[in-house]
Structure 1
Amino acid sequence: ARQVDQRISRVPGVVDDFDGIVYSNPNTLVRLRPYAGSRVGFTTESFASAAQAGLNGRVVTTVPNLPVEIPVRIRYDVPWNQRASVLDAMPIVAPNGSTYTLGSLADVIQAGPSTELNEENLRPLIRVTANVSGRDLGSTIADIKGALATLQLPPGYDITYGGRYALQQQSFQEFGMAIGTAILLVFVTMVFEFRNFRIPLVIISSVPLSLFGVTIALRLSHIPLNVSSFMGLILLVGGVVKNGILLFDEVDKHRRHGLSVEAQMIEAGRTRMRAIVMTTLTSLLGVVPLAIGVGAGSEMQKPLAVATIGGLMFSTLFTLLLMPVFYASSRTLYRFDLLEERPVSSDGAALIREAGHS
């Protein structure tokens, strides 16, 4: 524990480190001699009770003093901080009615200080603790792991990281599952809306790409990735998908009219770019006060706002520039349509009608 504490104390940002070794006060052991105790009628329990009465006294009555009662304790006229030599001469009344000294019936042993033993799941452990100041938790833990990587532990010993770091990792896992569930639900909804897999896959592809914007925004603002910024990622899923739905809803309409892929994307971009830009700007401006950090408690909400701003800015560029490229590439590489309406020319419709009349 001391070696671990010495190593982590050298890591920048680590303050208030403690090796976890707690010493208790020095103890005095009073061990009854079996033959001497049984000869005068003492058992282990009765001897412990008599010795405790001699040291601390015994409450014999109380004096009423409303609203509480004052206990009256009778004890020997001995100092509270007894030494071993004083305890040897302390009188003690045996069950046979005779009075003996404590040293004649028991061995008084002055023991040194002992350390506290802690267990968790029936395994002994020592908690080496520290606080973090002036740095983010993730980079500090990374440096601590590097400092302890070369430490040779005895057989059966291992190092487990807990506290705020363990809670942070658990929160990241839970938020990761929440983000995955949100993406899945949004994808299934778009499949039913567009009646194919191709357009939902193209739209969903912009979600991981928007993480570049989140990373850059957090890096420029010197904000670490934490629980609040993860909440911003969940909110970002809806905003990113919204832009794609606005664009490809218009693309789907032009596709049904038989336009080429290039014409579909150009017409959809010309029609929906204004709506995409305006909705993105309103979302960005709505969280700007949180990103600036105005008001009490703003530090907790600032990572959420910064992550949302960075993700929405990049996702808008991806929606207008890269999504059309992905869509055009998917048209030529593979098909995922479940039910795709195909445009029918007027000549083809006339032939169908004539075949029906015949």
Structure 2
Amino acid sequence: MLETALQGRVASQVLDGQRTYDMVVRLDEPYRNDRQAIGEVLIDTPNGGKIPVRQVADISLRHAPNQVWRENAQRRIAVQANVAGRDLRSAVTELRERVEKQIALPPGYFIVYGGQFEYEQEATRLILILSVFATLGVFLMLYGHFRFARVALQIMSNVPLALVGGVIAVYFMTDGVLSVASLIGFITVGGIAARNGIMMISHYIHLVRHEGEGFDEKMIVRGTLERLRPVLMTAFAAILGVLPLVFARGEAGKELLQPIATVVAGGLISSTILDWAVTPALFYKFGKPVCDYYLSGKEEAEHVALNEPSPSPVLNPGD
């Protein structure tokens, strides 16, 4: 009864043309704000009678929440805010520092930073974990193909070259904001950089194995120049494809694609430039045992042994 008097209850509906309106029954506005009038509201008793509220309750005005929210059986008060002009992570970091310095919470109270920031943190942790497994998987596949851990490590060394340009691009183009979309861009450009290393090292081995080149500086220079065109074509095509998105900062609908494009463009520029110095130098330093292995024919012998069918027993009925 008290809820009906103060909050109201739908008693019926009124049809006005094509629209239906609820008919709400409650006390008039002056009585809902009058403590004496509220105290005279009659409520039911267990024996079927009615008594005024003032006989069983003290009515007073005080500040209190109009609704009580609970999460995990604990009371919760949500304070919401939007961030404009800066990234969410730095805003939460500054907010946390100020709260720790300026606000002393009573015993039993604690603060949890949730919402979009919480989702972003969870997505970041998931991407980092998946990146570790992806890197390990790529390394194992490269090792299985080339049969040398040093070759796999040389190819994987191209990934940091891409990260250099990606970090620089994020710093200048997005004011240093590292978002989940940026992490996705790092994974993408890392894969492209590793592909360039595979192309170059595979071509070095091809020159030594099938074209009679010796393992010397001449072979390294030839292999590098012969792979210059396809690598540059891939890099230029990708950079030109994402360039409109790089300069689309602040445009509606481009919030997710712009950080990815920025990282991809910066990473491709740095990996393409630095790859021509790092990969040839590393292979010239550590690649001779790899070429000797392929020239010795051991790789072909192992391939034949793996693919040769095992002999099956033959039963002779006469024995």
TM-score (norm: length of structure 2): 0.72
Structure number with higher relative contact order (C-alpha < 8 Å, ≥ 6 residues apart): 1
Return the offset for 1:238.
Answer: 2.4
Query: 1:259 aligned to 2:208?
Result: no
Write the distance in 1 (CA, Å) between the matches of 2:190 and 2:95: 34
Q: 1:96 to 1:217 in 2, by over 3 A?
A: closer
Asked if the contact 1:191/1:197 (under 8 Å) is kept, the reply is yes
- Residue of structure 1 aligned with 2:245, choices 290, 296, 304: 290
Residue deviations 1:109-140 (CA, integer Å, cap 9, x gap): 21334234433223334333322121111222
Kindly indicate whether the alpha-carbon contact (under 8 Å) linking 2:39 and 2:59 is maintained by their aligned counterparts in 1.
no
| 1:216 Cα deviation from its structure 2 partner | 0.7
Task: Judge conservation of contact 1:290–1:302 (CA < 8 Å) in 2.
Answer: yes
**Closer, same or farther: CA 106–182 of 1 in aligned 2, 3 Å:** same
Residue identity opposite 1:243 in structure 2:
N
Query: Are 1:275 and 2:224 an aligned pair?
Result: no
- After the TM superposition, which residues 1-358 of structure 1 pair with which residues of structure 2 at under 5 Å, given as runs? 80-81=31-32, 83-86=34-37, 102=52, 106-113=55-62, 114-115=64-65, 116-151=67-102, 152-223=104-175, 224-256=177-209, 257=212, 259-293=214-248, 297-331=253-287, 340-343=293-296
Cα distance change of structure 1 residues 327 and 142 upon mapping to structure 2, 3 Å threshold: farther
| Percent of aligned pairs with the same amino acid | 28
TM-score, with structure 1 as normaliser: 0.65
Distance apart, 1:286 and its partner CA: 1.6
Are the counterparts in 2 of residues 258 and 342 from structure 1 also a CA contact under 8 Å? Answer: no
Listed as ranges, the gaps of 5+ residues in structure 2 are 298-319
Task: Supply the distance in 1 between the matched residues of 2:196 and 2:266 (Cα, whole angstroms).
Answer: 15
Report the alpha carbon displacement of residue 311 of structure 1 after superposing the two structures with TM.
0.3
CA distance in 2, matches of 1:76, 1:280: 73
CA RMSD of aligned residues (A): 4.3
Give, in whole Å, the separation in 1 of the partners of 2:29 and 2:227: 94
Tell me the number of residue pairs that the alignment of Structure 1 and Structure 2 aligns.
Answer: 290
Q: Provide the C-alpha distance between the structure 2 equivalents of 1:84 and 1:56, rounded to a whole number of angstroms.
A: 15
Structure 1 regions of 5+ residues with no counterpart? 1-48, 345-358
CA distance in 2, matches of 1:61, 1:159: 44
Name the CA shift for 1:321/1:80 in 2 (closer, same or farther; >3 Å). Answer: same
Partner deviation per Cα, 1:76-126 (whole Å, 9 max, x = no partner): 9997537343456667899999x98737x9245213342344332233343
